[in-house]
Amino acid sequence: MASTGVALTDVATVAVLAFVGLRLVGVARHAVRAPLRARVVALWKGLRPRHLLPVPVVLTAVVAAATALVQVPGLDVGWWTALGGYGNPVTGGTEQTTGTPLELIVPLVFVVLLLPGLPLFAAAEERMFRLGAEGWSTTRRIGMGVVFGLAHALIGIPLGVALALSIGGWWFTAVYLWGFRRGGRARAYLESTLAHLAYNACVLAVLVLSLAFVI
């Protein structure tokens, strides 16, 4: 029975990685074609020091909160980790490939596929979780930050890590409100999207650096 369980877990892991890989290929194909290509390039070119410089502080706060929260029983559980994965399926890390060439190859391929569509992912999440925040109460802004974090539990990360991502959501909301005061909703949406893109890009950079130690 144990061997059957292991085999089923391996099959499930491969299925998840195949699904994620195909989705990333699809997004990457759209991102490099007109008219989305122009938008993707414009967002990458729109990054400024004000979007990048706060990221280490925000990321450190997220990591510290996640480290503390996963110590709480029940908050260390996620469906991807239950399958033997680590990080989240989008980065392709799993215990099944540890010690094999796939430990390096799969995450690197996923990172390459992610890069073209990264601005589109950031824009979509900002439209879903931040657009209109100028008219929300403080309580709702805080709550939407938590919802933003918990939404990431759907991709399999532990619940405690998802809750910690609320910190990132609150930061993006603060950037959104800063942008709104300087140029209305369009400016607010652009600024929070760029802050989100800067954050995600830095996370990927950290992932690539960590993979360098595997080589």
Whole-angstrom Cα distance, residue 113 to residue 22?
A: 10
What is the average pLDDT value for the chain, to the nearest integer?
86
* Higher per-residue pLDDT: 81 or 93: 81
Domain coordinates in residue numbering, the chain: 2-212
**pLDDT (tens digit per residue) in 19-41:** 777 877 888 888 888 888 999 99
Res. 1: pLDDT tops 50: no
The whole-number average pLDDT for the span 135-159 is 93
Encode pLDDT of 182-215 as tens digits. 999 999 999 999 999 999 999 988 887 876 765 5
DSSP per residue, the chain: -HHHHHHHHHHHHHHHHHHHHHHHHHHHHHHTSTTHHHHHHHHHHH--HHHHTTHHHHHHHHHHHHHHHTTSTTTT--HHHHTTB-S-GGGT-BGGGTTSTHHHHHHHHHHHHHHHHHHHHHHHHHHHHTTTGGGS-HHHHHHHHHHHHHHGGGGT--HHHHHHTHHHHHHHHHHHHHHHHHHHHHHHHHHHHHHHHHHHHHHHHHHHHHHHTT-
What's residue 140's pLDDT?
97
Q: What pLDDT was estimated at residue 20?
A: 74
What's residue 52's pLDDT? 96
pLDDT of the residue at 3 = 47
pLDDT digits (tens, 9 = 90+) for 98-128: 666 766 777 778 788 888 889 999 999 999 9
